[in-house]
Amino acid sequence: MPATYRDALRAALLYLLLSVVWLQISGYLLNSFFDSSAERLRWQLINGYVWVLFSAGLIFIARARLLRCLGIGAKLRERDADRMRLRQATAVFDCTREGVLVTNREGAIVHVNRAFMEITGYDGEEVLGERPNMFKSGRHPAQFYQAMFATLASAGEWSGEIWNRRKSGEIYPQWQTIRLIHDDDGQPSQYVAVFSDISAIKNSEHELMHLAHHDPLTDLPNRLLFSDRAEQALASAQVHKRGCALLMIDLDHFKMINDSLGHTIGDQLLKAVAGRLKGMFDPGITLARLGGDEFAVLAECCPQLVQAAALAQRIINGLKEPFAIDGHQLFINTSIGISLFPSDALSVEQLLRNADSALFKAKSTGRNDYALYTEELTAHAQQRVEIAFELRRALDQQELQVYYQPVHDLKTSRLMGVEALVRWQHPQRGLVSPAEFIPVAERTGLIAEIDAWVMAQACRQMCQWQQDGVVLSFVAVNISSRLFARRELYQQVAQVLHETGLEPACLELEVTESAVMDDPEVALEQMHRLRELGVRLAIDDFGTGYSSLLRLKRLPVQKLKIDQGFVAGLPWDEDDAAISRVIIALAQSMGMQVHAEGIEQVEQAAFLLEQGCDLGQGYWFGRPVPAGQLNWAHAPVIA
C-alpha cells in the first residue's frame, strides 16, 4: 500500500476515533442545550449506535456538519422503534385473550388471532376471505346492524354487546369494539374488531338475578318475586275484572322434624314438599316459598270462595301422602289461610297479611285445615302482635301466675292432685287466658321459658304443700308440643327436680295427643327418657288427635285425659257418651288411668264414674285458683 493511502487511511481512522470521542462529549453537552431532543440524543450515543457514528464520521469528514450526522442517527433509530413496535403489536395480537378479527375495506376477513379461534371454534383458514356475517346469531334485528355501521361511519368506532354464533352453533354474548382504520390518504382501509366472550359474566349476572329472586333450597320464587308477580296479576285482574286468591300454606309442626331429625332431613322434606306442590298446579298459579315452612300460592282467575277452598283442600290432600326421606316415612299436615282479591284486600301486602291471619286461625282451630280471612281476624292479628310484644315484659316483670285446679278421685271424691295452669295478670287487660297467649308464645318461642317457669313454680309449690302436710299424689304441668320434641326437655325436668328436691313421681307431665302423634317415634324416645327420671306422663285432650292404637300401646304413659269436648255433652249426647265409653275402655285395657276434664255438672261426673273413669276435673269440683285459695276441706260427693 502506498504511503499516501496508508496515511489517508490512518487519518480517516483517527478522524473516526476523534469524532466518536467528540460525539460522546457533545452528546452530554447538547443535552444541556436542547431540551427534549437532548435527551434522545444522549441515549442514542450512549446506547452504542456506534455504526451510526461511523457514517456520521464520514459525513463529518465530508462536510464538517455534525448536526446532519445526528439527523441520520435519529432516523435509523425510529425505523428500529417501528420494527420493535410491530413486534410488540404482533405479540399482543397473538397473546391477548380478546379475539381479534381484521377485515379489509370490502369486509373480507384478512386476519384473526389465536383467541379468536379459541372463542369461536373456527380455524384461521376457515374464515379468511369470508365475511363476519357468517357469525350472526340471528338474535339481532337488521336495525341493530344498520345502527352499528352508521356509528362506525360517523365516529370511526363502535362498542357494544352483540350475540354471535360459534362454530358449534351455540350462540353467546360478546363485548365487541370495532374500529375503522384509515390509510395514508384518509380512506377507510380496514376494520379491526376486538371482542371478549362475556357469557361467563352474563351467566353469573343471570345467576345473581336468579338468586335474588329465588329460594336457594327449593328454587321456588321467593317473597320478593312472589310479591312482584302478584302485583302484576292483581293489576291485570283489576283491568279484566277478575278475582284472585292468595293462599298461605304452613306445614304443621315442621319445627319438630327439624329439631328431632335434624336440619338436613328438614331441608330435604321442604324440597320434596316444594316439588309436590309444583306438580299440583297449572301454569296460571304462582307458587313461592316465603321462608321457613311457609309457602304461598297466588291463583289467578279464582273469583269465588268455593274455588279457593277447593284448591286449599286439594293442597291439603296432596300433601297427606307420606314423604320418603332418607329412610324415614314422614307424614305432614298442612294449614292454609285464604284471602281473596278484591273482596278481602286490594293490595298484595294486605292480601298477604290477611292470609296470614287466616292461617293463624286455621292453626289455632286444630291445624290440618284451611281458614278464610274475615275482618275480625285483622283485629285478632293486631292483638297477637301486641301480645307477643308484651309477653316478654310479662315474663321479666313477673306478671305471670300459676293457678291450680283440683283433680278428684271420682269414686271417693278425694282430692288427688292439681293441674298447674298459667295465667297472665295484665296491668290493663286484667287476667288473660292462656288460650290467648300460649299460641303466641309458641310462635315466638317464648313458650320454652314459660313452661320452664311454670314447672319450677309448680314443683316448688308442691314441696311447700308437702311440708304443710297437704297430701296430694301429683301436680300436673302442661308441656307445649313445641317443647316436647326438644331434647332439652329431659335436661330441664331433671334440673327442676334436682333444684326443688321434689319426688319425681309427684310430677305429672301433660302432653297433648297431637304432639305425641305428630312424630310418634321421637315422642316414644322422649317419653322413655322422661320415664327413666321417674315422672308420670299423661296424654292431654285425648280424642282430638289421630292416635294409632298400636302406637298408643307402646307409649310409657300412665294416664289418658278425656278432652272436655266429649265431656260437655254427657250424659245425653250419644256420640259423646259413646266416645267417652270407648276411651275409658281403651285406657283400662292398656292399664292406664282415665281422667276426665271439663266436668261442670254432677250428671257428667256420675256418668263417668259409672263407666269406670278414675279421675275428674272441672268447675263442678273447683275452678283453677291461686295456690292459696285452693279449698282442701271441700270435696263434693257424686250422688
List of residues contacting ligand C2E (CB under 6 A): 405, 421-422, 433-435, 438, 451, 454, 478, 480, 510, 540-541, 564, 597-600, 617-619, 624
**How many CB atoms are closer than 10 A to CB 199?**
17
Minimum distance from CB of 452 to Mg ion (Å)?
A: 17
- Which residue has the CB atom at the shortest distance from ligand C2E? 618
Q: Which does 418 bind (CB under 5 to 8 A by kind): ligand C2E, Mg ion, none?
A: none
Minimum distance from CB of 253 to ligand C2E (Å)?
A: 15
Whole-number Å distance between alpha carbons of 535 and 510: 11
- Greatest CA separation for the chain: 164
Nearer to Mg ion, 344 or 541 (CB): 541
Whole-number Å distance between alpha carbons of 9 and 4: 9
Minimum distance from CB of 478 to Mg ion (Å)?
A: 4
Contacts of residue 490, defined as CB under 8 A and 6 or more positions apart, other chains included, come to: 526, 529, 530, 533
From the list 352, 378, 319, the residue with the least C-alpha distance to 311 is 319
Nearer to ligand C2E, 99 or 624 (CB): 624
Which residues pair with residue 616 across a beta bridge?
A: 408, 596
**Residue 15: burial class (beta carbons within 10 Å; 0-12, 13-18, 19+):** middle
Nearer to ligand C2E, 358 or 458 (CB): 458
Interaction residues for Mg ion, span 477-506 (CB under 5 A): 478
514 binds Mg ion (CB under 5 A): no
Encoded one letter per residue, x for contact with Mg ion by CB under 5 A and - for no contact, window 540-569 reads: xx----------------------------
Minimum distance from CB of 622 to ligand C2E (Å)?
A: 9
Encoded one letter per residue, x for contact with Mg ion by CB under 5 A and - for no contact, window 431-470 reads: ----------------------------------------
Measured CA distances, 253 to 85, 178, 294, 327, 357 (Å): 74, 62, 12, 20, 18
164 φ, ψ (degrees, to nearest 5): -125, 175
Minimum distance from CB of 266 to Mg ion (Å)?
A: 29
Whole-number Å distance between alpha carbons of 163 and 138: 8
**How many CB atoms are closer than 10 A to CB 87?**
10
Q: Which does 435 bind (CB under 5 to 8 A by kind): ligand C2E, Mg ion, none?
A: ligand C2E
Nearer to ligand C2E, 344 or 541 (CB): 541
Encoded one letter per residue, x for contact with Mg ion by CB under 5 A and - for no contact, window 238-277 reads: ----------------------------------------
Nearer to ligand C2E, 130 or 600 (CB): 600
Cβ–Cβ < 8 Å for 481, 253 = yes
Minimum distance from CB of 540 to Mg ion (Å)?
A: 4
510 binds Mg ion (CB under 5 A): yes
Minimum distance from CB of 451 to ligand C2E (Å)?
A: 5
Whole-number Å distance between alpha carbons of 165 and 159: 18
Minimum distance from CB of 331 to ligand C2E (Å)?
A: 23
Whole-number Å distance between alpha carbons of 21 and 116: 53
Encoded one letter per residue, x for contact with Mg ion by CB under 5 A and - for no contact, window 594-623 reads: ------------------------------
Q: Which does 73 bind (CB under 5 to 8 A by kind): ligand C2E, Mg ion, none?
A: none
SS (H, E, C) 34-96: CCHHHHHHHHHHHCCCHHHHHHHHHHHHHHCCHHHHHHHHHHHHHHHHHHHHHHHHHHHHHHC
Nearer to ligand C2E, 119 or 438 (CB): 438
From the list 273, 256, 281, the residue with the least C-alpha distance to 218 is 273
508 binds Mg ion (CB under 5 A): no
106 φ, ψ (degrees, to nearest 5): -85, -5
Nearer to ligand C2E, 42 or 482 (CB): 482
Minimum distance from CB of 608 to ligand C2E (Å)?
A: 13
Minimum distance from CB of 280 to ligand C2E (Å)?
A: 34
Whole-number Å distance between alpha carbons of 570 and 565: 10
By the criterion CB under 5 A, which residues form the site for Mg ion?
A: 478, 510, 540-541
